[in-house]
Amino acid sequence: MSQAPLLQMRQIDKWFGGVHAVSHVDFDVRAGEIHALIGENGAGKSTLVRILSGAIQADAGEIVFDGRKLHMRGPKDAEAAGIAMIHQELSLCPNMSVAENIFLGSEPLGPMRTVSWRRLRADAESYLRHLDTPIDVTRAVEEYGIATQQMVEVAKVLSRNAKLIVMDEPTSALTDTEAQRLFEIIRALKAEGVAIVYISHKMEEIYELADRVTVMRDSHWIGTAEASDLAPGQLIEWMVGRKIETLFPKRSVELGEELLRVEDAVLRANDGTDRLLVDHASLSLRAGEILGLGGLRGAGNSELLGLLFGQFSHADVEVCLRGERVRIGRPSDALAQRIALLTNDRKTTGLVLSMSVLHNMTLASLKRMGPTPLVVPREEVRAALPLRQRLSVKTASLDIEVSALSGGNQQKVALAKWLMTEPDVLLLDEPTRGIDVGAKAEIYELMNELASQGKGILLITSELPELVEMSDRILVFHRGRITKELRGEEMTQQNVMAAAMSGASSHA
Amino acid sequence: MPEDREPQEAPETVDGAEMEEAARRLGPRNPVLRFLSQNRGVTALLAVVILGALFTPQRGVNGPYLVNVITGHAEPLRDSDGAWNPPRFLTTKIHSDVLYEYAEYGLLAVGMTLVILTAGIDLSVGSVLGIAAVTFAYLLIARGTPPAVAIAGAAGMGTLCGLINGFLVSKLHLQPFVATLAMMVAARGGAKVISGGYKIQAGGADWYWVQGDLPEFMTWMVSPSYGGFLRPVTLLFIVSLLVMVVVVKYTRFGRYLYAVGGNEEAARLSGVPVTGTKILAYSLCGFFAGLAGFCNACRTGLGNPEAGTTFELDAIAAVVIGGTSLAGGRGAMILTLLGALIVGYIDKALSVNNVDVAYRLLAKGLIIVIAVVIQSRRRTN
Ligand SMILES: Nc1ncnc2c1ncn2[C@@H]1O[C@H](COP(=O)(O)OP(=O)(O)OP(=O)(O)O)[C@@H](O)[C@H]1O
Ligand SMILES: [Mg+2]
């Protein structure tokens, strides 16, 4: 009850053009606490913490940290004060090595004040081992997938010895196991007296980790409370301003004919090793079915979706679609067959960040909009408006650059792009990544609706409840092979985990 | 320790004060001012023309008009016999001249914009202009073919060079800088091969069979027609530009340029034909360089194998000053027109004041820096 909080943000205010992103928000964090910051997509969470990290400047308000008033002119000032941050949109230099990225700006120096490469590498390796991510730190960051990159970000932050660490949706790209490892580290940091500001849309995480919770909505501060005093229903009501009855809407769909059959699909690694990333996988998807694909990172489920969409230039696949054999070697083949793939990384493979919201939404549908090579803006808007409404994309206008949207809203735009192509087979890799509870429920609703129209969905998600609740059936991948099929009562989180960890044997 | 606060309600409807604040932050309320503050290219162009009007001399007087007004040396705006004598920037002739003199750069810049939007660059346009100029002159002057054939030859030669560029970039995955650098050297060589290293002109080098007189068609292309204001060359530039404004804005190909330049992988995964888009962009760039070569031959009355040297830099400058990003994916064709006009007018204002070419080059460098600084500041806001 005695000492002042470690961090006090007072009356923080920020405008982007005509958009009020943060309005007069007070926010404080005590030393050694884990403070969850939550709210709907576009509520202003990232903006608030980016102000704290010096990435952007507030229009008004003051920040008192560790008893001193901070004058923030850039990220350097925040770092000097002892504030480190993991950004929602990863901010690594893709072409530099993992080790260089971790120590960017604070490289260990040798006796001649030159960079000591030996120590740089050794330290980087030890941080990553600590995170259970033993990778080659001399390889370029871009050679690794988004989850590994996320871990590199974490290692980078750990190396800074900060007093306050901000994590903006650090687990949105991680599997459960990876996330659990991260939580252990967060708790260890807390035990050392480090304060954590933790942004997430995953309720379980918040209750697992947080000491206190602050909720924002529409750029405003709504409330702060002890996590233990706040029931989930109450929390959601603070967030969305209304009650949400069921997160996973129930449905009963008559399964139709077989829509897609894949037999012995194979994907070789393109790195000269000839490793099989997808090892003779076979599956059958019926109309109206939502088929979950479980498995750890790299188990082959994401890779299979890529293969079915013609993502890999070195591989193609023959499938049986609506009873006909078709060969898919390029994304345009897949699109022509009404297959759509929502990738798990909106920044590098999902969106063209420099284009407007509207143009991103229509990019994959331009060919279908008319026979002529002309694009008609009116048509585009007509196609985009219902999706904007349905997915509640929060944007000042359809014409602004998609990079100006909040992370969750960008995800909705990526999803809208594929829904607009009206696919028969929808391949979804982490569809609700970074999306708030309210919009999630809406997306589940939408998936059910598509299924009831006779479409087929292959679903990958690192959120086990989502996988278990939404799927009609689950296939679990292990080292490139499908090793387990779970149906009905068997579909529990434990069973999915067990099969994913150990291949076929565990579950009788 | 401060107690945890009770939840408060976020205002359900945005109140009047909030709306007002939002409007204020969107810029001036006056529609004209708002347009100008949101379209800095137009504002800059207006500023240049107005300054030009104040600082260009009148007929028969030396020195900037404004200076002469202050020192009392200015002539009256109306002569004793009632004819107008405004500063030269307020005569139509000067505008027609600027458009004419910038037509070649402008054509190159039109093609360059397409390539830069895809996050590429084309260093070869100057050399391609040269080889096209020589091709045109060879066909028309040395071979005596009809003008239409000679124009097709020039444009075809340019397109071929562009096609090769596009192939090298998209199929062989050469970096655009490297691929077009090679073409820059090779096309210059090609121009010299065709011309034998000489200027192809009427009554020129004797190993050619050359017509005695300059073909009438070439003179017609560069003489003022259409009410004495526009030359056919100028018209060619303006029409090309307007057509490409529409192509970039209202066709799938145009949209694909932005997608490829912004995020090639995401574009590919959205079914965008990346290879085709790039090849078409480079080919069109070559095509316009071919047209520019034809204009150059008409303007100079000969086919000079050295024509167009360093023109690629002027073309890139026009694109960049307009505000199209060299990183690709951001910009517009109409901005390139603004960029070309801004450079053209400033150059003209200096030249009618008899400023030395050396200083004009210094000024041009300065403009590029200022323009790019303004553009990048706007982006970070
Ligand atoms: N650079 C920018 N330019 C313009 N508007 C912006 C910019 N960054 C954010 N905004 C706007 O500010 C608002 C708040 O965005 P912010 O990223 O803080 O949301 P968030 O709470 O982090 O949401 P999410 O959960 O989706 O990540 C949004 O309406 C967004 O469109
Ligand atoms: Mg965010």
Q: Give dist(CA A321, CA A325) in Å, integer.
A: 6
Put simply, the answer to whether B1 touches A1 (Cβ < 8 Å) is yes
CB-ligand 1 contact for A165 (6 Å cutoff)? no
Q: Give dist(CA A154, CA A85) in Å, integer.
A: 9
B141 lies in the same domain as B281: yes
Is A2 a residue whose pLDDT tops 50?
no
B104 lies in the same domain as B46: no
Put simply, the answer to whether B4 touches A1 (Cβ < 8 Å) is no
How, if at all, do strands A481-487 and A473-478 pair? antiparallel
Is A330 a residue whose pLDDT tops 50?
yes
Q: Give dist(CA B187, CA B265) in Å, integer.
A: 32
Question: What confidence score (pLDDT) does residue A238 get?
Answer: 87
Cα–Cα distances (Å) from A259 to A214, A222, A233, A480, B44, in that order, read 46, 47, 39, 23, 59
B49 lies in the same domain as B149: no
B196 lies in the same domain as B50: no
Residue with tokens 């190396």: A159
B68 lies in the same domain as B185: no
Order the strands of the A258-268 sheet from edge to edge: A276-286, A258-268, A317-321, A324-328
pLDDT confidence bin for B312, thresholds 50/70/90: very high
How, if at all, do strands A212-217 and A34-39 pair? parallel
User: With pLDDT > 70 as the criterion, what percentage of chain A qualifies?
Assistant: 97
The pLDDT mean for chain A works out to 89
Examine residue B333 and state whether it is found in any structural domain, yes or no. no
Ligand nearest to the CA of A168: 2
Is B3 a residue whose pLDDT tops 50?
no
B204 lies in the same domain as B61: no
Q: Give dist(CA A462, CA B227) in Å, integer.
A: 71
B241 lies in the same domain as B154: yes
**In testing the pocket of ligand 1, which one of A27, A46, A220, A394 has its CB within 8 Å of the most ligand atoms?**
A46
pLDDT confidence bin for A398, thresholds 50/70/90: very high
Q: Whose CA is nearest to atom 22 of ligand 1?
A: A46
Question: What confidence score (pLDDT) does residue A213 get?
Answer: 94
Residue A81 contacts residue A70 (beta carbons within 8 Å): yes
Cα–Cα distances (Å) from A7 to A16, A57, A168, A500, in that order, read 25, 17, 17, 41
Q: Give dist(CA A508, CA A498) in Å, integer.
A: 11
**Burial class of B86 by CB neighbour count within 10 A (0 to 12, 13 to 18, 19+):** middle
B contact test, residue of A363, A376, A415 with most B CBs within 10 A: A363
Mean pLDDT of A307-320: 92
Q: Give dist(CA A120, CA A103) in Å, integer.
A: 7
Mean pLDDT lowest for which of A173-182, B282-291, B293-302?
A173-182
Q: Which of B23, B252, B270 sits opposite A417 (nearest CB)?
A: B270
Q: Which of B10, B251, B272 sits opposite A217 (nearest CB)?
A: B10
pLDDT tens-digit series, residues B97-130: 889 989 999 999 999 999 999 999 999 999 999 9
Give the helix/strand (H/E) hosting A20.
Answer: strand A19-29
Q: Count, in order, helices (H) and strands (E) of chain A.
A: 17, 20
Question: What confidence score (pLDDT) does residue A387 get?
Answer: 94
Q: Whose CA is nearest to atom 3 of ligand 1?
A: A404
CB-ligand 1 contact for A407 (6 Å cutoff)? yes
Token pair belonging to A295? 């498995």
Positions of CATH 3.40.50.300 in chain A: 5-240, 256-338+423-508
Q: Which chain A residue has the Cα nearest residue B256?
A: A363
Question: What confidence score (pLDDT) does residue A441 get?
Answer: 87
Round to the nearest angstrom and report the end-to-end CA distance of chain A: 54
Parent domain of B240: 92-308
B290 lies in the same domain as B149: yes
Sign of CA dihedral B187, B190, B194, B195: positive
- Give the number of domains in chain B: 2
**Burial class of B6 by CB neighbour count within 10 A (0 to 12, 13 to 18, 19+):** exposed
pLDDT tens-digit series, residues B230-254: 899 999 999 999 999 999 999 999 9
Cα–Cα distances (Å) from A257 to A284, A338, A435, in that order, read 10, 17, 32
Question: What confidence score (pLDDT) does residue B1 get?
Answer: 38
CB atoms inside a 10 Å sphere around CB A62: 14
pTM, two decimal places: 0.90
CB-ligand 1 contact for A12 (6 Å cutoff)? no
CB atoms inside a 10 Å sphere around CB B378: 11
Residue with tokens 């980087």: A124
Is A1 a residue whose pLDDT tops 50?
no
Say which CATH superfamily domain A256-338+423-508 falls into: P-loop containing nucleotide triphosphate hydrolases (3.40.50.300)
Alpha-carbon gap: A333 to the closest alpha carbon of chain B (Å): 8
Alpha-carbon gap: A268 to the closest alpha carbon of chain B (Å): 20
Is B205 a residue whose pLDDT tops 90?
no
At the topology level, CATH places domain A5-240 in Rossmann fold (3.40.50)
B45 lies in the same domain as B165: no
Residues of A in contact with B254 (CB under 8 A): 375
Put simply, the answer to whether A332 touches B252 (Cβ < 8 Å) is no
Mean pLDDT lowest for which of A61-65, A256-260, A272-276?
A272-276
CB atoms inside a 10 Å sphere around CB A48: 27
pLDDT confidence bin for B192, thresholds 50/70/90: very high
How, if at all, do strands A60-65 and A7-16 pair? antiparallel
Q: Give dist(CA A225, CA A213) in Å, integer.
A: 5
Which atom of ligand 1 sits closest to the CA of residue A406? 17
Compute φ and ψ for A314, nearest 5 degrees: -95, 5
B291 lies in the same domain as B264: yes
pLDDT confidence bin for B44, thresholds 50/70/90: confident
Is B48 a residue whose pLDDT tops 50?
yes
Question: What confidence score (pLDDT) does residue B214 get?
Answer: 81
Examine residue B347 and state whether it is found in any structural domain, yes or no. no
Q: Which residues pair with A38 in a beta bridge?
A: A215
Residue B379 contacts residue B329 (beta carbons within 8 Å): no
Question: What confidence score (pLDDT) does residue B293 get?
Answer: 97
pLDDT tens-digit series, residues A429-476: 999 998 988 888 889 989 999 999 999 999 999 888 899 999 999 999
B46 lies in the same domain as B191: no
Distance A52 CA to ligand 2 centre (A): 14
Token pair belonging to B207? 């190993």
Put simply, the answer to whether B2 touches A28 (Cβ < 8 Å) is yes
Instruction: Give the three-class secondary structure for A498.
Output: helix
Put simply, the answer to whether A20 touches B266 (Cβ < 8 Å) is no
Is B381 a residue whose pLDDT tops 50?
no
pLDDT tens-digit series, residues A336-395: 999 999 999 999 999 999 999 999 999 999 988 878 889 999 999 999 999 999 998 999
Alpha-carbon gap: A334 to the closest alpha carbon of chain B (Å): 9
